[in-house]
Structure 1
C-alpha cells in the first residue's frame, strides 16, 4: 500500500486539538487547524472596527490557539518556528480544503451527537482514500460512523493521543468493524516512525485500554481513601514512585487532569458497562462532584486536592481534608516501610518490599495493587487480546514504570495469587489455568528474546464437522490454548538488554559496557548511577577505542537508561575536593580530556545517540562524535556553572572551535558575536527544550539528524556508522582555532558586569563566568590569534581545578547532590 501523509487537518483547536496540530508540525507535517466561527466580537475586535464577517474574527479560535502554542509550558512545539506549519481556519469557510489533505483528525467535544454531525459534514468534503480519525478518549468508533458510506468507514478509525501529545508516548489506535486492516497497519507504522508514538491497538470498548485501567485504578484508590481514612498526603506518598508511578501519584495527577474531566471519563464507563459490580466501582465519589460544584477542578482552577496560598516567605501548598472539605497544611508522612522502600533502586524490588510491609501504608499499596491486577486480568480479551498492549498502555500513557502484568511478575505470580485467594478474592480462570500449567510468570527471557503469555487458536481442537460448527457458533467460543509467544521485534529496532542476554558483551565494568551490535559495529553503553561519568566510564572509553581501532567498522555511543548522561560523577569529585586531593582531580580531568580528544580523531566513525537529559560531560561526549543522532526529546546543556564549575572535558574548546568554523571562509568577518552566543549559553547553564533547540543553541550541528522514535535510536545510529564506513570514512584533521583574544574577553567581561549590576547573577557567578570568558576568548593572546585545541584544554583544566578549591563551588556541588537543584550563592 503506497501512501504518505504530507498534510493533515485537525478539527477542534482546544488544548488537545492544538496540541496534536503542534506535534504534527513537530514532525514536519503541514497542518490545517479548524474551529467554529465565533458568534460575537471581543472588545478588542470591536475597538478595531471588525465585524463577524472578517476572516480575523472568523478564524479567531484557531488563530489564538496557534499563537498560544508559542507560550505554553511545557512547550507543545519542539521550536516556536514549527508553528509556521499550522494554518488556522474555520469549519464554515474552509472545509473544502479537506480535499487537499491526507489525514483528517476530529478533536471536538466528547459528545456522540456532535461528532456524528461533524463527520457528516466531513464526508461531504472528503476525498476518497483520505484517512479520517477521531481523537476520542472513549466514545464508540463504530457508533460515530453510523450512517456514513462504506468507503468512509473503511478509512475511519480512532487515534487517541494522550495529553500532552508531544510528551506522552501512548497513542491508542482503535479500528472500527469495517476499517481496512491496511489502513490500521499504515497508521500504526506512520505514528510510530514519524510521530514517535508508542502505538497500542485497542478494541472499541468504553475508554479503550489506558483510560479503562487507569480510571479504575484511580477510583479504587479514591474509594480506599474515604473507606479507610487515608489523607491526601498519605495517598500520594504511597501511590507515587514507591509503587513505580510518577511523582504526581494519584491526587496530584487528578488535579493536573482536571477533576471535571476525570468525572466525565469515569461516567462514560459507568454508563456503558452492564455489570453492576463494575458500575459500582465506576461510580464517582460524591465528594468529587462537590468539588466540581465548588469550582475546585484542579490545577486549571487553582485548587483541587491541593491549593497554593501566598505566605510572607512565598507560598505554601495546602492539602484538602475530604471529610471537612477544608484545606490544611501538608503532613510529612513518617513510615519505616516507606523509608526502607525509598532506599531500594529497582522498581520490581521496591514494589515487592512495599506490598509485603506490615503497616497501614503497605496495606493500602496491596489493596490498590491487587484490585488493579485482577481487573486487568478480567478485562483481557475484552479491551485487548494482549497483556503486552495493556502493559504498554499503562507505561506509555500513565508513566507507570511497570504495567499490570509486569507488576504481577515482580511481586510473584503464584505467591500473590495465593494471598488473594486466602483473602477470599476471585481469580480469573485463565490465570489459574496458566499457573496450573506450571508457569511462574507472564513474561520470560529465553535465548535473548522476551516471551509473553498469549492465547492462540488451537487448531488441533477444531472438529471440522457441522455439529461442532453449530455448537461453537451457539456458545460463541473459539477453541484456544495458552502459550508463551515471542514478543514481536521489528527489523529496525535494537535492544541492548536483549543483546546482553545473548552474550554480546565484549567488555564491561561497573560504569559501562561495550556491546556487539553486529555487522562490525559496537555500542558503548553507560550504566553507572544516573549514567554519570566517572573513572570507570572513562576507563571503558579508552578500552573501547582500542577495540574499535583494531576490530570494528565504527562505534555507537548510546544507552537505554532513563537519561543519556547527567554529567560528571559529582559525588566522586566532591570527595576529592573535600580531601584536597587536587592531583586526583587533575588526573581525572586530564584523562577525560585526552579520552575525548582521542575519540574525536579516532580512525573509525563515531555516532552518538543521546536522549532525554544530556548534560555536562554527556554533551562533551556528543561534541566529540562525528555525528549525533539525538532523540527529539533531548534536553542538552553544558550546565557546569550551576555547580560552580566550567565545562572541562572539551566543551568550551569545542564551542570556541565551532564559533571559529562559522567564519572560516570569511577572514574579515567579526568572530565576537559567534563567541558571545556560547558564552551566554554556558554561563547561564542553558538546557535545550528539544533536540531542535539544541541545534539552534549550538550543542548540536545543523547536520545532526533528529530521530522521532526513541525505539529507533540505536538502529539508526548503527545505520549511520555503516553509511560513513561505506563512504570511506576519513577522520577529521586537527587545525588551529582562531580566537577573539584579550580584547574580545574584555567585551565578555563587560557583559558580566552589567548582568551583576542588573541582579541577574551573583558575585560568585561573575567569578565563574570570568574564567569562562578567559577560556572562550583564548586567554591572554591578541585578537585573531591561532591556538591549538590542547592550549584551550589546558585553560579549561586550570580553571576547573581552581574552582574545585573554592568553598562556594563545593557548597554548590553538595546542594545539587542533596537537593537536586542549583544553589545560588
Structure 2
C-alpha cells in the first residue's frame, strides 16, 4: 500500500515553512530546503563564519523553522514538533529527496522558476515518489512540459490555503497525465492524515476558491461604486449577515494583502480568453492606487482600514475612497441588517437580508445574484461538481454556505425568475434542471442527498467515516432527549450523547441526560460516545444559573447543582460500558470535567482545553479538582513526591491556562497516553465510535471505585500557596486571584491532612464543593461572573 512516511518541502517562505509545520503536526518528518545565501549577515560575520559554513548555507530554512514558534496563530500543535523538520539547502541537499515519498514545491509564484526546479527534482526522482506544487493558480500542465511521462503521472497540484494548519481547504489539481490512483490517494491522504477538506479542481486559472472568491470581491467593489456605498457599509452587508466571516470584503483584503489580491486577479485576466470575463477581472483604479502607495493592508499597517491611537485609545479608521483619507467609521442603520441579525442560521440570515427591502438589501442582492450565476457558469470548467465548488468556498473563504447551497436557501426557482426578470441569462444547465421539475440543486432521494451531475441527480460524495448527527436525528435515531441534550443511535451498538443547549453550557438538563444516557448505554449498548457538531464542544457550566442563585443567596440550590454534577461525573467514570468523549474547539470548565470523567478522550486537533473557572471567581466544581488530584497520584510512584506534578496542574488551573491544540492538552497532562488526537474534525465521531467498539471487543472493565487517593496534604498545600504568593509578589496575579489560589491549593492538596495521607473520593469532592460554595458568596466572584456574561471576557478584580 502507498504511504507517505517522509516528505520534502522546497521553499521555506511563509507557506513552505507552515506546510512543513503541518506535516510535523501529523507526525511526518520533512526536509525543508531553500536557496544558499550569497551574503553573510552581520551576526554571521561577528561569529567569523564563511559562506561555506553549513549554518550559513542552511540559514534560510533554519530561520524559517525558528520563526514557527514565534508566529501567531501558532502553526505547530506543539512547539517541540519543530524537531521533525530538518533544514537544508538546494545545492547540498537536493539529492536527499530520493529518501522521501512526497516532494512539495513551494517557491516563488512564477512559471519559469518552477519549471527549472522540477527539472532538477526529476534527476533524483524515483518511481512512486509523488511530486506536487503548492501554487495558487499557475497551470499544472505548463509546469511539467518537457518532463518524462512517468514523472508527469506522479505530479499534481496541492494548493493549501494560508495558514495551512487552520484553513481546511486543500485543492487537489490533477494534470492531464496524472495517474488517477495517485489523485485518489492524495484525496484520501489529505482527508484522513492531514485533516483537510479536499476538493478536486481543474487546471484552470486560480482553480476553484480563488476564482470565485476573487470574482465576488471585484463584483462587490463594482456594485459598491455604482451605488455610492462606503467601505464600512459594504463590510456590514457582506459579513455574517450574508453568512460570510466578520472580515467581510475589505477587512479580508487587508488580511490577505491587497497586492496579493491584485496578483491573483491579474492571473485570471491574463489567462482567460473570454473578453467579458477579462473585463470582470480588471482591478479597479482605487485598488491599484492602494498598491502604488504601498497601502497593502495588515502587512504595511494600512489598507482599507488603519489602526491608530487617539487620546490614549486604540481606534480603527476606515479609508474614504473618494478623498483617500482615513476617517472614523460611521454606524449603519438598516432594516435589512436588523432583520438578518434577528434571523437564525446562515440561510435565514441571508434570506432576511436579501428580502429586507432597503438599499442595503438591494446591494446584497446585486452582488449575490452575479456570484451565483458566475459559479453556475464555471461548473465543468473549474470543477466537475457543485459539491466541490460549495465546499471550496466554505473551507477556503469561510463562507457558511457555498454558492449553490445559498441559492437553494433563497429558493432556486424564485431567484431564477427574479434573475431573468432583471436581464440575467442563466446557464443552460440550470434552466434545464429547473425545467425538469427540480426545485433545488440538492435534493433528498431515498434518504440520500443528491445533486445534479450531467443533468441527472447523483449522490453527494460523503467521505468514509463521516457521521452527521443532524441526519441521524432526522432519520429517527433519537433514543432519548430533553432541552439540553439528545441520545442518538450511531448504529453497531454505540450511542452518542449530544449537547445542544445554548453554547452547549452544562445545566441540570444535560446532567440529567448524562445519568440517563449511561443507564441506557449500560443496558442496551456496547458503549457511549459524548460528542456534538456545534461551534464548540462545551464552554462550561451554565454560569447564568449559578449567578442568579448566588445573587439570591440560594446556597441550597447551588449545593444541589454541585452534587448533581458530581453524581453525573461519577456515573461516567464508573460506567459499566466504555465512554469516549470526542471534544472539539472550546472545551472549558465543565466540558473538561466531562472529558476527565470519561474512559477515553479523542479530541479534535483544534481543541482548546482548560479548567478556567478562576476567571469567574471560583474553582472547578464538577469533579475537576478531585480528578486532577487523583490523576497526579496515579502518575507517580507510590513513594514519589506528589508536589512537582501537582504544582504544574495547580499553575494551569490557577492561571486558567487553555491548550492551543488537542496535542498540547496531552502534553499539559490533561489527557492520558491512551487518548489520541483526531486531526480531521469530520472524522472525530466515527473515530470515537470505533474506539468504543474496540474497547468493548477486548473486554472493557469499569475502573474500581477509588477508595483511597494519596494526597500532598498540608505540606503540599503550603508549597502551592507559597508559589501563588510568589506570583502575587511579582504582580502577576491580583489579591483576589491569590485568595482563589489558596482555596484551590487547599482542595488539590487534600486539605490539612499529613503529607501522603490516603483520602476517599467523597472527601475530595466535599472539599471541592465547600470551596466552590464559599467563593460563590464573595462579592468579587459575583462581579467576575457578571462581567463574563456581559462581555465574554474575564475580569481581573
CA distance in 1, matches of 2:199, 2:774: 53
Structure 2 residues without counterparts, runs of 5 or longer = none
Q: Secondary structure at the match of 1:10?
A: strand
* The 10-residue stretch of structure 1 (90-99 or 309-318) with the greater mean CA deviation from structure 2: 309-318
Matches within 5 A, 1:647-796: 647-663=620-636, 665-667=637-639, 669-735=640-706, 736-796=708-768
Q: Secondary structure at the match of 2:593?
A: helix
Conserved? CA contact 1:447–1:502, under 8 Å: no
What is the count of residue pairs matched by the alignment?
A: 796
CA distance in 2, matches of 1:313, 1:765: 28
Q: What is the CA deviation profile of residues 153-194 of structure 1, one whole-angstrom value per residue up to 9, with x for unaligned ones?
A: 000000000000011111000000000001101111111111
* The 10-residue stretch of structure 1 (402-411 or 292-301) with the greater mean CA deviation from structure 2: 292-301
Q: Secondary structure at the match of 2:232?
A: helix
Residue 797 in structure 1 maps to residue 796 in structure 2: no
* The 10-residue stretch of structure 1 (495-504 or 33-42) with the greater mean CA deviation from structure 2: 495-504
- Partner residue, 1:334: 333
| Cα shift at 1:446 | 4.0
Q: Secondary structure at the match of 2:259?
A: helix
CA distance in 1, matches of 2:634, 2:151: 55
| Cα shift at 1:344 | 2.4
| Cα shift at 1:755 | 1.7
- Partner residue, 2:559: 586
Normalised by the size of structure 2, how large is the TM-score?
0.98
Residue 13 in structure 1 maps to residue 15 in structure 2: no
Matches within 5 A, 1:163-174: 163-174=162-173
Matches within 5 A, 1:498-509: 498-509=471-482
Conserved? CA contact 2:107–2:114, under 8 Å: yes
| Cα shift at 1:813 | 2.0
CA distance in 2, matches of 1:200, 1:136: 15
CA distance in 2, matches of 1:45, 1:596: 58
CA distance in 2, matches of 1:687, 1:609: 17
* The 10-residue stretch of structure 1 (222-231 or 4-13) with the greater mean CA deviation from structure 2: 222-231
| Cα shift at 1:698 | 1.6
CA distance in 2, matches of 1:483, 1:593: 55
Select 1:521's aligned residue among 475, 481, 494. 494
Select 2:548's aligned residue among 555, 563, 575. 575
Residue 247 in structure 1 maps to residue 220 in structure 2: no
Q: Secondary structure at the match of 2:795?
A: coil
CA distance in 2, matches of 1:142, 1:282: 23
| Cα shift at 1:492 | 2.4
CA distance in 1, matches of 2:738, 2:339: 42
| Cα shift at 1:578 | 3.1
CA distance in 2, matches of 1:812, 1:220: 46
Conserved? CA contact 1:644–1:812, under 8 Å: yes
| Cα shift at 1:404 | 0.6
CA distance in 1, matches of 2:405, 2:790: 32
Conserved? CA contact 1:447–1:501, under 8 Å: no
CA distance in 1, matches of 2:790, 2:584: 24
Conserved? CA contact 1:629–1:713, under 8 Å: yes
Residue 543 in structure 1 maps to residue 516 in structure 2: yes
- Partner residue, 1:228: 227
| Cα shift at 1:702 | 2.3
Q: What is the CA deviation profile of residues 688-732 of structure 1, one whole-angstrom value per residue up to 9, with x for unaligned ones?
A: 011110011122112211111112111111111111111111100
- Partner residue, 1:68: 67
Select 1:613's aligned residue among 565, 568, 586. 586
CA distance in 1, matches of 2:485, 2:766: 27
| Cα shift at 1:523 | 0.6
CA distance in 2, matches of 1:588, 1:409: 45
CA distance in 1, matches of 2:446, 2:715: 64
Matches within 5 A, 1:368-383: 368-383=367-382
Q: What is the CA deviation profile of residues 753-809 of structure 1, one whole-angstrom value per residue up to 9, with x for unaligned ones?
A: 222222211222122222111111111222211111111111222222222223322
Conserved? CA contact 2:339–2:356, under 8 Å: no
Residue 216 in structure 1 maps to residue 187 in structure 2: no
- Partner residue, 1:468: none
CA distance in 1, matches of 2:548, 2:353: 33
| Structural RMSD (CA) | 1.4
CA distance in 2, matches of 1:571, 1:377: 47
Conserved? CA contact 2:133–2:159, under 8 Å: yes
Normalised by the size of structure 1, how large is the TM-score?
0.95
Matches within 5 A, 1:98-117: 98-117=97-116
- Partner residue, 1:465: none
Conserved? CA contact 2:603–2:677, under 8 Å: yes
Q: Secondary structure at the match of 1:284?
A: coil
CA distance in 1, matches of 2:39, 2:291: 28
Conserved? CA contact 2:336–2:355, under 8 Å: no
- Partner residue, 2:30: 31
* The 10-residue stretch of structure 1 (218-227 or 685-694) with the greater mean CA deviation from structure 2: 218-227
CA distance in 2, matches of 1:820, 1:371: 38
Select 1:552's aligned residue among 520, 525, 544. 525
CA distance in 2, matches of 1:70, 1:511: 40
- Partner residue, 1:3: 2
| Cα shift at 1:401 | 0.8
Structure 1 residues without counterparts, runs of 5 or longer = 456-481
Matches within 5 A, 1:274-353: 274-353=273-352
CA distance in 2, matches of 1:314, 1:681: 32
Distance 1:562 1:448, change over 3 A: farther
CA distance in 2, matches of 1:793, 1:510: 28
- Partner residue, 1:474: none
CA distance in 1, matches of 2:570, 2:394: 39
Residue 22 in structure 1 maps to residue 14 in structure 2: no
Q: Write out the 4+ residue segments of structure 1 that deviate beyond 4 Å after TM superposition.
A: none
